[in-house]
Every structure is written in structure tokens, then in C-alpha cells.
Amino acid sequence: MTDIKSLTPDELRTQLTGAGFPKFRAEQVGGWLQKGVTEFGQMKNISGELRQFLESRYYISVATIEKKLVSRYDKTVKYLFSLNDGECVEAVIMHYKHGVSMCISTQVGCKMGCTFCATGKSGFSRDLAPSEMLAQIEAAQRDLKLRVANVVLMGMGEPLDNFDNVLRFIELVTSPQGLNIGARHITLSTCGIVPKIYELAQRKLPINLAVSLHAPNDGIRVRTMPVAKAYPMDVLLKACRDYFAATGRRVTFEYAMISGVNDSDAHARELAEKLGGMQCHVNLIPVNSVEGTGYKKSDLQRQQAFVNILTARGIAATVRRTLGSDINASCGQLKRNQLKEGGK
Ligand code: SAH
Ligand code: SF4
């Protein structure tokens, strides 16, 4: 069976005309898929023969809402979706002044094993297909009757460990025949898989790249992020500089502040030195406590002191506003609870 929503409109047309159906039929099918139908039976104006053909050869990826939590504070919505095979992923809708942002998953689980991350602790199951990334957005749009303006690949999974599918997703979601979300409204977050950063740079997509740094040196970084053993910080930061040189896009560094681990004044000074002269922005995130990690977030005073040291040294830095604090909106945690309850 072929995953119909992972095909580009051109591929779909070629396959259907190749099977003897006229071009306008392919366009009708494409139109229904764009509208977000979840079954071939909902394609009202296609012939019975075509419907049967589609049902025998293709399937439509659907994200079904298993759980939905809505924050009372800021209307942040967190979803646990099940996919066609019963695997579950998380996604979050956030309301910002500049529009609705959605954080989606790119894998079921993750292989990278970061010690502070709920997803990393749950292990890896499989990659998501491009259609399954789209399905998360479509399901939320349908449910909330809104348009997603910005997409962040910061849910479960490491996007650059699922490179081809993520790039195809970006091609599909930015397509005028798809959800038509501009590449400038897409942010890809990576733990720092250096060869893939270079591969991404070659594509010269106008997307935003976020790199999870979370430490000012390799000594601390390897303790929380095993990927740092393969790609030390100087190699990673060089890749980020080269990325900027190749694309002209400023890199954002994510830095989860963990009390007593990476949040001292000395750490801030060391970080500022490493990032000196770079076109970048540091996004400080008070770490979300995950059961079993023992990590606690830095207090407000620490956060401010850290920002001040970076900005005084010419590094743009802000503390990310916490949204959905009452529903534990950081990804991986809903699924972890479900696993504990005996789910998939
Ligand atoms: N795998 C990619 C994208 C998914 S994780 C990456 O690691 O960048 C999205 C972001 O959430 C990353 O910056 C990650 O480091 C961060 N994150 C994971 N667990 C967290 C936690 N408990 N508190 C704060 N940020 C966390
Ligand atoms: Fe994977 Fe990102 Fe979590 Fe690390 S932080 S385990 S790379 S999802």
C-alpha cells in the first residue's frame, strides 16, 4: 500500500494517469486530500472505479486525537495523537501575538537519549512519514477550527535523524497545493547531528534552524546529551557558522537551564565566549522537570543573571515564556504517562 499523502501533487498525477485515469481525476483527488479528507469515501465527485482503485492501492495517514489537554492560562493545547498503526505522538498548539504555532513530532520516540528529555527516556520506535507530520497539523486545524501559521519541529524525535522524510514534509507543507505555510514560518530543532546540518545547508531552505546546545562545554554537554560524544561543541559551532555563511539564516541556540548543572555565571561567560562573533540568538528555557531525572529549573534570578551576562557580551538572549505550564506542555511527557498506564 502506498502512503498517498506523502506523494507530491506531481507524483500523484503521474501515478494516476499512468494507471489510465484522466488528469482531471488526479486533480480532484489532490483537491480532496488538500481539504483534509481522512477516507477515500469522502471524495464525493470521483468515480466508483477510481475510489476502488485508490482503496486497493493507497492509504491516508490520519492523526486521531487520543488525549487533549487545554491550558486554562493561555489556551495552549496539547494533543496525544494515535497514528494508523496505533503508535502515539504528541503535538502542541500555542497562541502567540504573531499567530498560531504548532509544535509537531517527527519520530515516535528518539534515539538520542538526552537525559533531561521525556522522549529520550522512552526510547525509539520508528520514523514518521511526511504524511504523518502533516496529519498532526490537519487534525489540530480541524479540531480547533483555526489555521496554523508557524510550525516548529520540536516535538518528539530528532528531525535530522529522519532527514528525507522531514525534507519531504517541508516540501509538502510549503506547497501552494498543500497547507501553503511559508518556509520562513518553519523552525527545525536539532540536537546537533553535524553532517546533516551541512546537508541541510546545501538545500538552502529559508527555514529557521534551532540547535539544542544546553551546555557551555563538552564536559557538561556529554553528561546530558550523548550526541555530544560524536560531535564535540567546536565541530558543532563551526557547522553553525558555516550554516549561516551558506544560507544567511541566523541560528538559534536552545539552552535549557538546569539548576546547579549549567546555569552559573561562569557558565554564561564561557558560553558567551564560545558564541562570540556569531550571528545567533540564545533561547533560554527553564528546564521542565521530568520524573526520574532529578533536574530542577533555575530560579528567575538565575535566569535573569544568565541573560544579562550574555547580552552584556553582545549575544542576543531571551528567556522563553513558558506556555501551558498547567498541562505540562513540553513534549514527551503525555506519552510517558500513557506508557505508564499501559498504552502503546
Ligand atoms: N530532537 C530535537 C527536537 C525535539 S526536542 C532537539 O533535541 O532539538 C525540542 C527541544 O526541547 C530541544 O531543544 C530539547 O533539548 C528541549 N527539551 C527536551 N526536554 C526538555 C526539558 N525537560 N525541558 C526543557 N527543554 C527540553
Ligand atoms: Fe531526542 Fe531532542 Fe529529546 Fe534529545 S532532546 S532525546 S534529541 S527529542
Give the closest residue to 159 by CA, choosing from 207, 96, 230. 207
| 213 CB within 6 A, ligand 2 | no
What is the average per-residue pLDDT within 2-10? 97
What is the average per-residue pLDDT within 176-186? 95
Q: What confidence score (pLDDT) does residue 110 get?
A: 97
Q: Is the confidence at residue 72, as pLDDT, over 70?
A: yes
The reply to whether 270 belongs to the active site is no
Q: What confidence score (pLDDT) does residue 337 get?
A: 56
For a pocket test of ligand 1, which of 285, 290, 336 has the largest count of ligand atoms closer than 8 A to its C-beta? 285
Q: Is the confidence at residue 113, as pLDDT, over 60?
A: yes
Mean of the per-residue pLDDT values of the chain: 93
| 190 CB within 6 A, ligand 1 | yes
Question: Domain 2-59, what fold?
Answer: DNA polymerase; domain 1 (1.10.150)
Please, how many CA atoms are within 13 Å of residue 202, restricted to the half-sphere of its CB?
Answer: 6
pLDDT band at 179; cut points 50, 70, 90: very high
Q: What confidence score (pLDDT) does residue 323 get?
A: 74
Residues 296-344: tens digit of each pLDDT: 999 999 999 999 999 999 999 999 877 777 777 665 555 555 555 545 4
pLDDT band at 88; cut points 50, 70, 90: very high
Q: Is the confidence at residue 122, as pLDDT, over 90?
A: no
Alpha helices per DSSP H over the chain? 9-18, 23-35, 48-57, 118-121, 130-144, 163-174, 194-203, 218-224, 227-230, 233-247, 265-275, 300-312, 333-340
| 287 CB within 6 A, ligand 1 | yes
What is the average per-residue pLDDT within 77-90? 97
Residues 260-277: tens digit of each pLDDT: 999 999 999 999 999 998
Indicate the pTM of the whole model: 0.95
Long-range contact set of residues 226-229: C-beta below 8 Å, sequence gap at least 24: 226/112, 226/113, 226/114, 227/112, 227/114, 227/191, 227/192, 227/193, 228/192
Residue 117 alpha carbon to ligand 1 centre in Å: 6
For a pocket test of ligand 1, which of 121, 128, 154, 158 has the largest count of ligand atoms closer than 8 A to its C-beta? 154
| 104 CB within 6 A, ligand 1 | no
| 227 CB within 6 A, ligand 1 | no
49-53, 128-132, 285-289: range with lowest mean pLDDT = 285-289
What is the average per-residue pLDDT within 221-238? 97
pLDDT band at 74; cut points 50, 70, 90: confident
The reply to whether 331 belongs to the active site is yes
- Cα separation of 344 and 275, whole Å? 41
58-72, 226-240, 290-304, 319-333: range with lowest mean pLDDT = 319-333
Q: What confidence score (pLDDT) does residue 293 get?
A: 85
* Domain residue ranges of the chain, discontinuous segments joined by +: 2-59, 64-340
64-340 domain in CATH 3.90.1170.50? no
